Structure 1
Amino acid sequence: MEVDSFDDLLRDAEQLTANVDSGGELPRVERNLHQIMETSQRLWTKTAQVGVPDAADVKASILLGSKGLDVPRISQRLETLSATKTFEPLEPIADTDIQSFLRNERENAVLAVIQETKKNTLQQTEKRFWETMQSEWQEQRQRILNALISSGEDLLDIGPDTESMLSETVAMDGRSTMDSVEMAYARQVYLYNDRVVHGGVRPNLIQLFEQISLQFEDKRVSELWAMVREMTSVPLISTVDTVQARSAQEMQMAFVRQARSYLENSYLKYISTIVGENLQRAQVGGIPGTFHRVQGFMKVKLPHPVPGLEDGEVNGQPVWPIIYYCLRCGDLDAVLHAVQRAAQDLGEFEEYLKEYMDSEDRRLSPNMQTKLRIHYRSNVRNSPDPYKRAVYCLIGCCDTTDSHSEVISKTEDYLWLKLSQVSFVEESGPSSLDRLTLPQLQTTLLEEYGENHFSAHQNPYLYFQVLFLSAQFEAAIEFLSRSDLRLRCHAVHTAIVLYEMGLLVLPANIQTQVLSKHLDDPSPMRRLNFARLISMYTSKFENTDPREALQYFYLLRGLKDHQGENLFITCLSEMVIETREFETLLGKLGQDGTRRPGAVDKFQANTQRILETVARDTEAKGLFEDAVKLYDLARNADKVLEILNRLLSPIVAVPKSGQSNRQRLQALAVAIAGRFQSQAVTGNQSNTKSFYLLLDLMTFFDEYHGRELDRALETIKTLQLVPLTPETVDDKVNAFKQYTDEVRRNMPDILLATMNILHTKYRNTRNTTLQNAQGRPTARSEDGGKESYLADLRRQAKSLITFAGMLPYRMPGDTNARLVQMEVLMN
């Protein structure tokens, strides 16, 4: 490549200068080196501040800089300018054109109405949205709370096909979520309800549950039901108020007596077991009786010798431990036998014991109790023999704050000691400070000690036993229902037993939490929301085992919800909506219109009322198709037709397509219409007329969208909804006022479809006439017939336009325009 000479470079430079001088996009800038350096420095500073070079600013500076303009300074001046006074409103100018003024006012009024309607619609929509969201959240909140004490599978368990804004549907069909224990209990509940429904003597529910508990091969469950049987074997007080009955002294004494009896029998079995397992050490010699078993037990468990024991021995065993353990087993005859064999060393104790045995509730008379307490304070309180102190405190109900830890090491023993010291006799003076009442004991166990003291979650059966034997049934059931998922079914069925026996204290409002306290109730009485407990229990399996859940809901038939509705019907309605097991639970209609019974019919309840309630709740939740089927099942033709009219009205003019809402609803409506006609079932005249008219209109639009124009025109003529002659316009306008809103809403589509049919037929006929005119000659009579036919089509279109203008109904804005446009094309 040759290197250009200096002359060539000079010539090229002069050529470039000439090109610049000859004109171009930008004028020539003449600046000295100092000016170019300042401008470059300013541009570089601006570029550095912005971060990204602005090509437009650079070009502007080059363009305006040649004229001596300082761009940055001009920008600063422009930013200081204010446009406040530029757009000040001008004085209104009076319009002298009345027509324009009126038109302007009318448009302003229309716009104001539209704006106000838009505002109201947005407000109502937002309000409805938040109400729906709040309702959904409340339902989900309740489900979450229920699921927290349910298995993990129940978390956010939504019934299939349930419309929700918050979650997807999860179906669990074909698989039971009940385990073997729950199924066994459910079977017993079914047997009990079946006997109740058919009348006669009710079976012993405790016996049913106790029998089935033997199959579980769990000793703790068997003991639980033995305890329930013992505590419910009390004389029931015939009163409506359960709180009053439970607070009565007679019933409280019975509860204490039964609890003490259960603990004593349990301890006697425990001693017998220990002796049976250690026959060689016990050396009872095969002699029956509590006295000899206690002696054998002491040889196994009691260390020998025990320091501090007083008042001699019986058969080589210390006397006071024998007396204590015989008392602990509840055998007072064995106690008397031991006392009599050591009477010379026991002083007046035999006298105290005999009066204690003769008392029906194991209580000394006030005089004898005072005498024993004086002897205790002066001679026994400071005795080194812990068994002697414990026996005196038991019989005399004294020193109730002493826990006797040297003798008592188990919770059952402590509970038995305190129950034995409970007093129901009013005392005065210093002795009243040493008195222990049942409410005081209940408060100590539930509130002062509580779950942490008894390590309840490590041993839930023990804490349940403590609360239940102290007659705190509601707190015991609530604790067991939430302590362990496997134990909840036992707690629920314990609650069922107490509820059926009238021993359960219920809240006035079923919306409260499971365990609540009423301000007017004596402390520490609690109330158990039995309805919510049943609902939480059945929520696990109501989707997969609705028949079993229904048996539990039947137990709630005597309760009312917050609206005063029967709780059995309310729970059934919610379960039907959730599970959608309409046929299984409520029955179904056969082809002949007869209703086949469902699971609810087995309860011999007011099935019609149940069906009406479920249908009403379904409609309130917006499940209109299901509501139609339920109202049809309840034989409420008026509601069936009313809801169907609302469902069909928006889809009458929609084109048919496979698997669409229109096709499904049309099939449902046609089936119901066929059955109603064959069985002569009718609702009120307005709903019936609108229903069959909407079905005929759907047929019309099916023919119209299917391009069967002749048949569609014949159908609309048969329906006589719109006028096709000028003479019938007034009659059709008057008849329009008699139609329901469901039919009126479709009138714009009916007019457009009819006008489109007329226009299409006119255009086809006109095109045929023109083709014949351009081809072979046509007979004059034929042309005259076509002209007459075209004129008739125009006359029909004109009738439609007149009818549309006279309708007392606000139609969409483009309807009249499209009608007029097609009518003009026909002229």
Structure 2
Amino acid sequence: MTQNAETAVVPVSNGKRLLNELLESSRSLPYRDSDLGSIQLGINELRKRAHELRKNTIEIKSEENYTKAHYLLAGKVSIDEVASNIKSLENNNVLEPRSKINTQQADLDSYLRTKKDENILSAIEQSLSATARDFDNFVNQNISLDWKQRRDEIRESFGIVLNKQASHTDSKSQNGNGNKSISWGKSFKLSEDNTSKLNVNANYSTRRKFERYAKVVNELNNSRQFTKTLENADSEFDLANEFIQIYQNGSDSKSRQLYESWQIIANVNKGNFKSTNEKSFKNQVVARSRTFLELQFFEYADAIYKKKVTEKGLPTIINKIKSFIDSQKLNANGNLLVVNGTPIWALIFYLLRAGCQEEALNLVLEHQSVFKKVEQSFVPYFKAYVSSQDKRLPQPLVTKIQNEFNHHIKNSIDGDPYRYAVYKILGRCQLSRRNISNIALTIEDWLWMHLMLIREDSQVDYDPIHEKYTLSDFQEIILSYGNNKFSSNYLQVLLLSGLYDEAGKYALETDEMDGVHLNIGLAAYGLLQKSTQETVNKTKGARFSKLLGSYVESFKFSDPRIAVEYLILICLFPDQIETCHEALRELVLETREFAILLGKINAAGVRVPGKIEQRKSLINLENDFLNKITEQAAITADKEGRIYDGLLLYQLSEEYEIVISIVNRLLGEFLSNTELEQSLVDGNSETNPILIAENFLSLYQDISVKNKEICKSLLKIAEIRQYYLEKDWDTTLKKIEELEILPINPNSDLGTTRLKAEELTFLNENVLKNVPNLLIITMTCVAQKNEQINSGPFNGGIKDDKLKELRLVAKNCVIFAGMVQYKMPRETFSLLIGLEALL
């Protein structure tokens, strides 16, 4: 104990200076009861130091419990006296307390070890960082690639249109419009700031609605394709009626609005009106809309008549209109001219409103005496109007009725308001003021009244400017009023006034799915293409294409077949054929549903058309386009490592040399990466490389001899593997010798072995990567045959000869492997040496 104390105080001479410096430095170190605040240590180091501190504390306490046995060891030295002297020195601060010295030494050792570890780790980190920086600098200095430009070049090589001001990459689409064609997908937007947020798979109700719509669109395309094939226009699909069936049972206001809207569309398209003349088309819109409103009103009047069970008289048209007038309580108006209890002018007006002009004329003729007393010339006016084919009075009568209207009717304070309305309709009087006061008109009545006053024929050119009223004028009024004026009937108003583009936009704002199909219906009937809004003619097709692209975006991955059905509708606009092709191309590349969209090859080698090819007559699809899109998809699949997709696509594009190259690569990798004890044929002809290769060789003969021989060699290796699995060692060695790759003939000399090794340089890489497995199989077969001979019934001479031949084969294989070991895995070479040692 004394010796240890003295050693702590008085260091040896050759380390005196160093220990004094360490002792002096240790004074600034924390004691073991400090908070260790000045040393930043990790949690592991703190745990280790805490353990050492606890250990030191235990040792110090144990030192205080020494026994009297020290007298036997120290002889005549009084340990108590020495201890007392040391204690005195410590109390006088001559010596540091032993407990502190021991603790400081432990803390110092631990600190130095920690610093050493930290320095080593820091040096390693600095070295790694410097290496990384050097590598980055090397790459920046030696590899200069514009990745964005490279990406664009690759996309352009695939035929994908980029959003540039330059023209379409396909030279066929280059024209005066420059960037006429647009890219489908994310760039297909309803507007620049709005994309579709629709999710057709959001819930059961939405999905069911989506499927019902998709079924109608599919039937529409079936009909279009059938019609185009037979060139028979009479078989046109009744699209409007299909949608009417969907909405007719709806009870909510939106369903009723769509139901009436499709009725309007169906009515406008009656008779398959195909005129391309703008004026004729406008007249058609006005006439059909007017007819629709008249029929709608008559059905309403008929429903009122049927509800009045106490109604007397026959159910004639006159009686039904009278019943309607009675329900409106018009008799209370003292200004009405009443004949036999019926307001005669109101009856004429509502007969015209119901489209019953002949009945109105009969009524007028029955009451000629009444009209001659009041309006002597009215009967000739009305008779001429009803008899006219275009419902227009001859010019002399027009002048006469307008003079009479201006002098006697328009300023009449107590006149019958219905007389005012009838005169305005017959003579198109005072068109500068088209409203009718003192008559409560519904929105439908108001529309009908304006449609009665519109004229688009050539005679309108002779009318005074203030007396002209065309469909375009009426449309301006509708748009100026807007949605607030017509409330929930705005969609019907837009359709009835020929504002088909505006109707399509408004329907989209109300409900995207419903709006998309309303636009499809309008385009299918040619109403969008022939819309009377001339200012948007140039952008109609582009807007329709974006609309369909945005809608398809919501389900193209889940339902690629349905996506095709919608995208081919882009060709309803003749100027959008290139856009349609572009959209289909991107659909194929993005969804990668190649078998569904482009087709497949069946077991007999016959091409099965995909969805796009099935609809080729609807999109002006040419074979070169199909081959082009297939080849582009094949290149994409090959770049992304999707081998089976690439195989299919290259077959579809009839690139058989590329197909056999892919088959060889696939088969070579399969054979080299499969364990030798594993079966190679699983029976799946679509994914098993061996079956794929066999099937391809049997179907296609028009391929190069070189690729065909490579494929046959790989199939022979597969056959060798099968014999090896069956433990048919003799047949396995025989088949390997027939390959003429390995020098397994026992008579082969060193020169022959070297020549075989040199020939590997010219061996196809797909076959070459299987050489290690062939060597292992050969050596395993040799080892197995060696064991069979040693344990078999062979006499001495024959046995020795056979064993010698096997050793020569093994020797040749090892020498061969040694000559080409730079191409061999280390494990393979080690295994060959081990197998040779067993012989």
Q: TM-score range by the shorter chain?
A: 0.5 to 0.7
Are 1:230 and 2:267 matched, yes or no? yes
Are 1:432 and 2:465 matched, yes or no? yes
Distance 2:290 2:139 in 1: 79
Distance 1:522 1:355 in 2: 43
Q: Say which of 327, 333, 336 aligns to 1:306.
A: 333
Distance 2:411 2:580 in 1: 65
Q: Say which of 344, 349, 357 aligns to 1:332.
A: 357
Q: 1:667 to 1:259 in 2, by over 3 A?
A: closer
Which residue does 1:471 correspond to in 2?
498
Distance 1:466 1:123 in 2: 54
Which residue does 1:209 correspond to in 2?
241
> 8 Å contact 2:290–2:452 — kept in the other structure?
yes
The letter for the 1-side match of 2:9 is D
Distance 1:214 1:766 in 2: 82
Are 1:288 and 2:288 matched, yes or no? no
Which residue does 2:285 correspond to in 1?
255
Which residue does 1:361 correspond to in 2?
390
Distance 1:468 1:232 in 2: 12
Displacement of 1:233 after TM fit? 3.4
Deviations 1:705-753 (A, max 9, x none): 99988766654443234667655679768976776xxx42563x34444
Which residue does 2:119 correspond to in 1?
none
Which residue does 2:340 correspond to in 1?
315
Which residue does 1:165 correspond to in 2?
none
Displacement of 1:654 after TM fit? 0.5
Which residue does 2:430 correspond to in 1?
398
Q: 1:791 to 1:280 in 2, by over 3 A?
A: closer
Displacement of 1:260 after TM fit? 0.9
Are 1:268 and 2:284 matched, yes or no? no
The letter for the 2-side match of 1:227 is I
The letter for the 2-side match of 1:689 is E
Distance 1:16 1:344 in 2: 150
1:525-544 matches, cutoff 5 A: 529=544, 533=548, 536=551
Q: 1:427 to 1:599 in 2, by over 3 A?
A: closer
Displacement of 1:567 after TM fit? 9.0
Q: Look up the SS of the partner of 1:439 in the other structure.
A: helix
> 8 Å contact 2:294–2:354 — kept in the other structure?
yes
Displacement of 1:257 after TM fit? 1.3
> 8 Å contact 1:422–1:436 — kept in the other structure?
yes
Q: Say which of 128, 148, 154 aligns to 2:198.
A: 148
State TM-score, norm by structure 1.
0.61
Displacement of 1:19 after TM fit? 7.7
Distance 2:833 2:444 in 1: 98
Are 1:21 and 2:9 matched, yes or no? yes
Displacement of 1:406 after TM fit? 4.4
Q: 1:17 to 1:763 in 2, by over 3 A?
A: same
Which residue does 2:660 correspond to in 1?
641
Are 1:692 and 2:742 matched, yes or no? no
Which residue does 1:589 correspond to in 2?
602
1:91-106 matches, cutoff 5 A: none
> 8 Å contact 1:192–1:202 — kept in the other structure?
no
Displacement of 1:320 after TM fit? 3.9
1:718-797 matches, cutoff 5 A: 718-721=738-741, 727=751, 743-744=764-765, 747=768, 749-754=769-774, 790=807, 793-797=810-814
Displacement of 1:182 after TM fit? 7.0
Deviations 1:20-59 (A, max 9, x none): 535699869999xxxx99999xx99986999x9x999xx9
Deviations 1:81-139 (A, max 9, x none): xxxxxxxxxxxxxxxxxxxxxxxxxxxxxx9999689968996999699989x99x985
Q: Percent identity?
A: 17
> 8 Å contact 1:397–1:435 — kept in the other structure?
no
Q: 1:779 to 1:298 in 2, by over 3 A?
A: closer
Which residue does 2:127 correspond to in 1?
none
Q: 1:529 to 1:271 in 2, by over 3 A?
A: same
> 8 Å contact 1:631–1:640 — kept in the other structure?
yes
Distance 1:236 1:634 in 2: 43
Q: 1:723 to 1:17 in 2, by over 3 A?
A: closer
Which residue does 1:505 correspond to in 2?
529
1:490-639 matches, cutoff 5 A: 491=518, 494-495=521-522, 499=524, 502-505=526-529, 521=537, 529=544, 533=548, 536=551, 563=578, 578=593, 589=602, 616=631, 619-620=634-635, 622=637, 623-626=642-645, 628-629=647-648, 637-638=656-657
Distance 1:723 1:264 in 2: 99
Distance 1:491 1:355 in 2: 41
Displacement of 1:333 after TM fit? 3.9
Displacement of 1:610 after TM fit? 10
Distance 1:202 1:755 in 2: 74
> 8 Å contact 1:467–1:476 — kept in the other structure?
yes
Deviations 1:221-280 (A, max 9, x none): 775555334312367456xxxxxx26x112211221121122112212222222332364
1:177-196 matches, cutoff 5 A: none
Deviations 1:478-512 (A, max 9, x none): 654674588569737734xx62x555429xxxxxx
The letter for the 2-side match of 1:438 is L
Displacement of 1:613 after TM fit? 7.5
> 8 Å contact 1:147–1:155 — kept in the other structure?
no
Displacement of 1:306 after TM fit? 1.6
Displacement of 1:301 after TM fit? 0.7
Q: Tell which deviates more after alignment, 560-569 or 674-683.
A: 560-569
Deviations 1:378-401 (A, max 9, x none): 654454454444444444163456
Distance 1:316 1:275 in 2: 18
Which residue does 2:172 correspond to in 1?
none
Which residue does 2:62 correspond to in 1?
none
Displacement of 1:439 after TM fit? 2.6
Q: 1:440 to 1:452 in 2, by over 3 A?
A: same
> 8 Å contact 1:234–1:251 — kept in the other structure?
no
Which residue does 1:442 correspond to in 2?
475
Are 1:655 and 2:674 matched, yes or no? yes
Q: 1:46 to 1:612 in 2, by over 3 A?
A: closer
Alpha-carbon RMSD across the aligned residues, in angstroms, is 6.8
Q: 1:674 to 1:117 in 2, by over 3 A?
A: farther
Which residue does 1:668 correspond to in 2?
688
**Greater relative contact order structure (CA < 8 Å, 6+ sep):** 2
Q: 1:687 to 1:654 in 2, by over 3 A?
A: same
Q: 1:29 to 1:204 in 2, by over 3 A?
A: closer
Q: 1:212 to 1:415 in 2, by over 3 A?
A: closer
Q: 1:729 to 1:17 in 2, by over 3 A?
A: closer
Q: 1:729 to 1:306 in 2, by over 3 A?
A: farther
Q: 1:19 to 1:687 in 2, by over 3 A?
A: closer
> 8 Å contact 2:247–2:259 — kept in the other structure?
no
Displacement of 1:329 after TM fit? 2.0
> 8 Å contact 1:492–1:537 — kept in the other structure?
no
Q: 1:419 to 1:113 in 2, by over 3 A?
A: same
Q: 1:489 to 1:274 in 2, by over 3 A?
A: farther
> 8 Å contact 2:494–2:503 — kept in the other structure?
yes
1:99-178 matches, cutoff 5 A: 148=198, 150=200, 152-153=202-203
Q: Look up the SS of the partner of 2:491 in the other structure.
A: helix
Distance 1:660 1:786 in 2: 32
Structure 1 stretches lacking a partner, 5+ long? 1-11, 67-110, 158-175, 239-244, 457-461, 507-514, 773-777, 806-810
